A and B are shown apart, each in its own frame.
Chain A
Amino acid sequence: MTEMSGADMVVQALVDLGVDTVFGYPGGAVLPIYDALFKHPTIQHILVRHEQAATHAAEGYARSTGKPGVVLVTSGPGATNAVTGITDALMDSIPMVVLTGQVPTTLIGTDAFQECDTVGITRHCTKHNYLVMDPARLGPIMHEAFYIATHGRPGPVVIDIPKNVQVATGKYIVPDMIEHKSYRPQVEPDSAAIAEAVAMIAASERPVFYTGGGVINAGPDASAALRQLVALTGAPITSTLMGLGAFPCDDDKWLGMLGMHGTYESNMAMNRADLIIAVGARFDDRVTGRLDAFAPEAKKIHIDIDRSSVNKIVPVDLAIVGDAGRALDAIIAGWQTAGHKPRDLGEWWRRIDGWRATRCLDFPEKKEDAAEIMPQRAVKALYDATHAMDPIITTEVGQHQMWAAQHFGFRGPNRWLTSGGLGTMGYGFPAAVGAQIAHPGRLVICIAGEASLQMNIQEMGTVSQYRLPVKIFILNNQWMGMVRQWQELTYESRYSNSYSDSLPDFVKLADAYGWTGLRIDNFGELEDGIQTMINTPGPVIVDCRVAQLANCFPMIPSGAAHTDMILQPSDVTGTMDDEAKALV
């Protein structure tokens, strides 16, 4: 076998691993790899405007396709700029491989120009990371890294490659067995546990499925299995923010999202259930509320690929460690073999219907042309106008994110991209870029807050360069609305630094980047404005002015029980004790 340079090995490995897209930004320490990518016939490189955006774009690509996202950045500031997106991918279990340039091995540790301890900095925000000191190791490490990023609980892997390793030559080795020598995540569920789960579900009178992003990560088949199991058992289902789309919103078993801004019916169902079947969800504090009041009457089954998620927050009665899809398939098979019929859950459903009757997502509004637009209405109108086109929706972080989760319905997995675990403002727009690259023909909309959007707004240039038809729909309330909401709840409306002052004119900004810019000011313009957005080819930014002081309800304040939901603005008292103030 002939020798090749380290940079060529990196690119060859990407080809061998089926990578078609790399999001990146060049710099001194990755020039050899950039040269190897020059006019590459199969790998397209998407030049972002900031390395953080490369990582979020890779996340958007990954979340919308199920394939790992790939990032290429230089040493020092390139690597440190990528850290937020790497951490975001770790928190939300997104498969991602980040290649970082590094100063030559001879200079490591000397505070050389653009040197930083990338493996040190990313050690605790990656699933695994490598510093490659020998070009002969590049082939095996590249293959192993993709294996680790995509197997078990997915996550980000960093490969730090010193410049002289990129230049040096060696043999490109493809390992015969593309796996890790000892990392063997358990995917096949234990059959005894499955049998027990079947029996528990069959015996339950008040079951509820509580599902999360793990179902999406387990692939479209897992979502299909979930639908089948829900139909077989007749049980209600709720989901976390990350799990939206795994189960269709128009099914009558669907209760809506649960947790802090979840529906009344889903949180009450969790509180009164006698059995909770958690699938690929991790009992996050946003979901459980006050722990000692969480689902007090329920036995709990927890299906998760990551054993460390089990019993981490909530002790469970039955743990099933394994792939969500395989576990669901096994439960379905067990259910059918045992000849179980759906139990009569009529009494349970009657209680649920009672909770549904509170119509907790309703909001007051004036339906006059000149009236201000309620943000919830804007999301609903966007949904009504676009859902038939099966759009991919991304969000930034804040009230608009929660309104999108509450009012935009999803019918399939991989169509809802949002930063759940880390809650990263600046995620949504670059994620939309990544999703659009992966799905050039699809309608991709970023539902943004005017504050969050500005965190990666420079990516307008990327969109122009690659002629991406991304649509940004800003719910512009001229506030960091979620911060202001908490200040109303906790600090007697002392609005410390939460006003979005000195906003740009988004329409002019669109113009400056060669986009189309639209502004929607009142109720009467909403539907037409959305239609214009859809019908305009190319990228569009919509500055939709919404009611400035609207707040997001229902809300379970931090540290409160599921039953202590704030349903209406009038329930807000404006003060909290220190224990509550100390919670996030």
Chain B
Amino acid sequence: MKIQTEAGERHVLAITVDNEAGVLAKITGLFTARGYNIESLTVADISSDHALSRITIVTNGPPPIIDQIIAQLDRLVPVHKVTDLTDAGAHVEREIALVKVAGTGDKRIEALRLADVFRAKVVDTTITSFIFEITGASEKIDRFVALMRECGLVEVGRTGVVAIARGAEAA
């Protein structure tokens, strides 16, 4: 007997929640308990009184499962609002990465040249290393990191995606 899985599509969800202990565990636990995917998750306090946080989750699943994920999130007591940015229309997605490369000679020059092409900033440097800061869509960061592997990549840290709907209105 084989265990079957279904193909899915990628959705970016913005979730406004009470900024309280345990809320993040509740949400990630919901994803693991019900077998939903998390490709990336970011969270930070977004209100002036520290009462609310915004969680951005990139998930993947067939459309009925995406609907279920939203309904399941929506009924959690500390969840105020769930927005499917992918469904809501045009939105901006950004991610930041810090990328450390070490090397000398040609490799070092090539790393710096590529960083320039990707508009990555140098935020730290020694004689033998750089730390680049790069912002952009996840695919752009993927490509930059892949190139840096050829140029002495030591370490990479990524924030995960934050996203927001285009236009004047809140989504």
Give residues in A with beta carbon < 8 Å to B: 119-120, 123-124, 127-129, 131, 148, 152-153, 180-183, 185, 306-308, 310-312, 315, 578-579, 582
Q: Which chain A residue shows the least CB distance to B17?
A: A182
Question: Cα distance A180–B78 when bound, in Å?
Answer: 9
Known: A182-B78, A311-B67, A582-B1. 17 other contacts (CB 8 A): A120-B22, A123-B22, A123-B29, A124-B26, A128-B77, A148-B77, A152-B75, A180-B77, A182-B18, A185-B75, A306-B75, A307-B75, A308-B72, A310-B71, A311-B64, A312-B68, A579-B1
Question: Is there an interface contact between A308 and B74, defined as CB atoms closer than 8 Å?
Answer: yes
- In the complex, 15 of the A-B residue pairs with CB atoms within 8 angstroms, ordered by the A residue number, are A120-B22, A123-B29, A124-B29, A124-B30, A129-B22, A148-B77, A182-B78, A182-B79, A182-B80, A185-B75, A307-B75, A308-B72, A308-B74, A310-B71, A312-B71
Q: Which chain A residue shows the least CB distance to B74?
A: A307
Question: Cα distance A368–B54 when bound, in Å?
Answer: 72
Question: Cα distance A423–B16 when bound, in Å?
Answer: 35
- Is B25 located at the chain interface by the 8 A CB criterion? yes
Question: Is there an interface contact between A131 and B21, defined as CB atoms closer than 8 Å?
Answer: yes
- Is B33 located at the chain interface by the 8 A CB criterion? yes
Q: Which residues of B contact A127 (CB under 8 A)?
A: 77
Q: Which residues of A contact B1 (CB under 8 A)?
A: 578-579, 582
Q: How far is the CB of A53 from chain B (nearest CB, A)?
A: 26
B:42-89 near A, CB below 8 Å: 64, 67-68, 71-72, 74-75, 77-80
Q: Which residues of B contact A578 (CB under 8 A)?
A: 1
Question: Cα distance A182–B77 when bound, in Å?
Answer: 8
Q: How far is the CB of A22 from chain B (nearest CB, A)?
A: 23
Q: Which residues of A contact B26 (CB under 8 A)?
A: 123-124
Question: Cα distance A127–B79 when bound, in Å?
Answer: 12
Interchain residue pairs A-B with the least CB separation, the first 5 = A308-B71, A578-B1, A128-B77, A182-B80, A183-B77
Question: Is there an interface contact between B77 and A124, defined as CB atoms closer than 8 Å?
Answer: no
Q: How far is the CB of A355 from chain B (nearest CB, A)?
A: 32
Q: How far is the CB of A491 from chain B (nearest CB, A)?
A: 16
Q: Which residues of A contact B78 (CB under 8 A)?
A: 128, 182
Q: Which residues of B contact A148 (CB under 8 A)?
A: 77
Q: Which residues of B contact A123 (CB under 8 A)?
A: 22, 25-26, 29
Question: Cα distance A578–B3 when bound, in Å?
Answer: 11
Q: Which chain A residue shows the least CB distance to B81?
A: A182
Q: Which residues of A contact B71 (CB under 8 A)?
A: 307-308, 310, 312
Q: How far is the CB of A140 from chain B (nearest CB, A)?
A: 13
Q: How far is the CB of B52 from chain A (nearest CB, A)?
A: 10
Question: Which of A120, A124, A183, A315 makes the CB contact (< 8 A) with B64?
Answer: A315
Q: Which chain B residue shows the least CB distance to A157?
A: B77
Q: How far is the CB of B147 from chain A (nearest CB, A)?
A: 42
Q: Which residues of A contact B18 (CB under 8 A)?
A: 181-182
Q: How far is the CB of B27 from chain A (nearest CB, A)?
A: 10
B:6-53 near A, CB below 8 Å: 18, 21-22, 25-26, 29-30, 33
Q: Which residues of B contact A129 (CB under 8 A)?
A: 22
Question: Cα distance A123–B80 when bound, in Å?
Answer: 18
Q: Which residues of A contact B22 (CB under 8 A)?
A: 119-120, 123, 129, 131
Q: Please, what's the 1-or-0 string for B104-127, where 1 marks a CB less than 8 Å from any CB in chain A?
A: 000000000000000000000000
Q: Residue among A120, A123, A311 with the most chain B CB within 10 A? A: A123
Q: Which residues of B contact A306 (CB under 8 A)?
A: 75
Q: Which chain B residue shows the least CB distance to A182?
A: B80
Q: Which chain B residue shows the least CB distance to A308?
A: B71
Q: Which residues of B contact A308 (CB under 8 A)?
A: 68, 71-72, 74-75
Q: How far is the CB of B96 from chain A (nearest CB, A)?
A: 30
Question: Cα distance A152–B22 when bound, in Å?
Answer: 22
Q: How far is the CB of A500 from chain B (nearest CB, A)?
A: 32
Question: Cα distance A578–B79 when bound, in Å?
Answer: 41
Q: Which residues of B contact A579 (CB under 8 A)?
A: 1
Q: Which residues of A contact B67 (CB under 8 A)?
A: 311
Q: Residue among A183, A306, A315, A579 with the most chain B CB within 10 A? A: A183
Question: Is there an interface contact between A311 and B68, defined as CB atoms closer than 8 Å?
Answer: yes
Q: Which chain B residue shows the least CB distance to A180?
A: B77
Question: Cα distance A306–B1 when bound, in Å?
Answer: 35
Question: Cα distance A582–B3 when bound, in Å?
Answer: 10
Question: Cα distance A41–B25 when bound, in Å?
Answer: 41
Question: Cα distance A307–B78 when bound, in Å?
Answer: 16
Q: Which chain A residue shows the least CB distance to B52?
A: A182
Q: Which chain B residue shows the least CB distance to A577?
A: B1
Q: Which residues of B contact A152 (CB under 8 A)?
A: 75
Q: How far is the CB of B145 from chain A (nearest CB, A)?
A: 35
Question: Cα distance A489–B21 when bound, in Å?
Answer: 48
Question: Is there an interface contact between A120 and B75, defined as CB atoms closer than 8 Å?
Answer: no
Question: Cα distance A210–B119 when bound, in Å?
Answer: 61
Q: How far is the CB of A79 from chain B (nearest CB, A)?
A: 16
Q: Which residues of A contact B72 (CB under 8 A)?
A: 308
Question: Cα distance A579–B78 when bound, in Å?
Answer: 39
Q: Which residues of B contact A582 (CB under 8 A)?
A: 1
Q: How far is the CB of B148 from chain A (nearest CB, A)?
A: 39
Question: Cα distance A52–B136 when bound, in Å?
Answer: 53
Question: Cα distance A540–B89 when bound, in Å?
Answer: 66
Q: How far is the CB of A340 from chain B (nearest CB, A)?
A: 32
Q: Residue among A182, A306, A311 with the most chain B CB within 10 A? A: A182
Question: Cα distance A533–B31 when bound, in Å?
Answer: 50
Q: How far is the CB of A281 from chain B (nearest CB, A)?
A: 17
Question: Cα distance A124–B33 when bound, in Å?
Answer: 8
Question: Cα distance A473–B123 when bound, in Å?
Answer: 77
Q: Which residues of B contact A119 (CB under 8 A)?
A: 22
Q: Which residues of A contact B68 (CB under 8 A)?
A: 308, 311-312
Q: Which chain A residue shows the least CB distance to B67?
A: A311
Question: Cα distance A124–B80 when bound, in Å?
Answer: 19
Q: How far is the CB of A112 from chain B (nearest CB, A)?
A: 19
Question: Cα distance A83–B46 when bound, in Å?
Answer: 35
Q: How far is the CB of A316 from chain B (nearest CB, A)?
A: 12
Q: Which chain A residue shows the least CB distance to B29?
A: A124
Q: Which chain A residue shows the least CB distance to B80?
A: A182
Q: How far is the CB of B70 from chain A (nearest CB, A)?
A: 9
